[in-house]
Amino acid sequence: MSKRVAVLKGGMSPERDVSLVSGDAVASALRDEGYEVTEIDVGHNIWEQLHAADPDVVFNALHGEWGEDGRIQGILDLFGAPYTHSGVMASALAMDKHRSKAVLRDVGITVPKGTLADRNSVAEAHPMEPPYVVKPNAQGSSVGVYIVKDGANSPPKAVADNDAMGDLVLVEEFIPGRELTVTVMDGEAFAVTEIIPAKGWYDYEAKYADGGSSHVVPADIPKNVEDLCKTWAVLAHETLGCRGVTRSDFRFNDINQDLSDIVNKIVMLELNTQPGMTPTSLVPEQAQYLGISFGRLCRRIVEDASWPR
């Protein structure tokens, strides 16, 4: 067993706080599993930080920019130690929501219709007929997401002032329905969870605040819906070239109870190559449902580490 594990956490993205919680939880679990753990709050001197830690394995618990977009993965490839989660290409592609959905659409997965648009122009005039969603093309954790409801007279002016969105934003049709998610590891889909926000929709607060949402695992859905979500999650994982753990998010519109044509009732919203590992995170919850403790899950992720990815 590789004993020395460096856990990368924090970092420089808007999702820093979430990553710190994920990293703390992972580090604690790995110590309980018998590993010697060094926690690295990633900065611009990450190269020096890695050499100082001299790990056998690097556990990537970063989120957002510099954590799941291929850049830290490139540094880890140069460093040369086995590391967890996806490599450079898969990370960069999955992080680019617009391009990854084009790839997923080509293999038959239903994804929302959308386009990239200049952030300032989106704030001036409707880029498409409402309802639609405006969000960063390369962020996660529902940071900076605006829902423009049906009948809205104007787009959200705040988009222009939110530099964290980036110059180009993703504008997509709003997909109604129930929020479902699937974890994939080693080519296996764990389960389907339904996420029920306490209010509104599944935004940043609903994901991470106490009582922000409730999770139903396994989701109370028809078997053919469960099967398709799992099939698409595994297909997306493999098509994008992902490694380790991923989580795919879906919307299931069951307003019309005729489920004979489920392909048109299920839409894949995105795939996350660095799922959260916080106390309220979905991946550990699905693992627990299968009888896999949080410590054992972290151990499996470490044992799956390799170089290059």
Q: Over 80: is that where the pLDDT of 1 sits?
A: no
Find the mean pLDDT for residues 15-42: 96
Q: Is 272 a catalytic residue?
A: yes
Q: Over 60: is that where the pLDDT of 38 sits?
A: yes
Q: Over 50: is that where the pLDDT of 204 sits?
A: no
Whole-number pLDDT of residue 199: 66
Q: Is 34 a catalytic residue?
A: no
Q: Over 80: is that where the pLDDT of 139 sits?
A: no
Find the mean pLDDT for residues 299-303: 97
Find the mean pLDDT for residues 14-18: 90
Check 39, 194, 249, 285 and give the catalytic one.
249
Closest CA to 208 of 275, 271, 159: 275
**Model pTM?**
0.90
Higher pLDDT, 188 or 162: 188
Check 272, 281, 285, 299 and give the catalytic one.
272
Q: What is the average pLDDT value for the chain, to the nearest integer?
A: 90
Please report, for residues 80, 108, 244, the alpha-carbon distance to residue 65 in angstroms, rounded to integers and kept in the order given: 21, 28, 19
Find the mean pLDDT for residues 161-188: 91
Structure tokens at 195: 């996420």
CATH 3.40.1710 fits 114-173, yes or no: no
Q: Is 177 a catalytic residue?
A: no
Percent of the chain with pLDDT over 90: 73
Q: What fold characterizes domain 4-90+296-304? A: Rossmann fold (3.40.50)
8 close to 26: Cβ distance less than 8 angstroms: no
Q: Over 50: is that where the pLDDT of 251 sits?
A: yes
Whole-number pLDDT of residue 221: 94
CATH superfamily to which 100-109+176-272 belongs: ATP-grasp fold, B domain (3.30.470.20)
Q: Over 70: is that where the pLDDT of 288 sits?
A: yes
Q: Which residues of 74-95 are buried (b: 16+ CB within 10 A; e: fewer)?
A: ebbbebebbbbbbbbebbbbbb
Q: Over 70: is that where the pLDDT of 126 sits?
A: yes
Find the mean pLDDT for residues 200-211: 52
Whole-number pLDDT of residue 200: 58
Q: How confident is the model at residue 32 (pLDDT cuts 50, 70, 90)?
A: very high
Q: Over 80: is that where the pLDDT of 20 sits?
A: yes
Check 13, 60, 86, 141 and give the catalytic one.
141
83 close to 60: Cβ distance less than 8 angstroms: yes
Q: Over 70: is that where the pLDDT of 192 sits?
A: yes
Kindly report each contact of residues 175-178 with a partner whose C-beta sits within 8 Å and lies 24 or more positions away, as own/partner.
Answer: 175/112, 175/251, 175/253, 175/267, 175/269, 176/251, 176/253, 176/255, 177/251, 177/252, 177/253, 177/254, 177/255, 177/265, 177/267, 178/219, 178/221, 178/251, 178/252, 178/253, 178/254
Contact residues for 11 (Cβ-Cβ < 8 A; gap 6+): 19, 41, 42, 62, 63, 64, 65, 66, 67, 72
Check 276, 281, 285, 299 and give the catalytic one.
276
Strands 146-148 and 132-136 come out as: antiparallel
CA angle centred on 299, ends 296 and 301, rounded to 5°: 115
Choice among 20-24, 260-264, 271-275, 290-294 with the minimum mean pLDDT? 260-264
Domains of the chain by residue range? 4-90+296-304, 100-109+176-272, 114-173
Q: Over 70: is that where the pLDDT of 128 sits?
A: yes
Check 15, 194, 226, 285 and give the catalytic one.
15
- Reported in sequence order, the residue ranges of 174-212 that DSSP labels E, i.e. its strands, are 178-185, 188-197
Closest CA to 20 of 222, 288, 276, 209: 276
Find the mean pLDDT for residues 239-252: 97
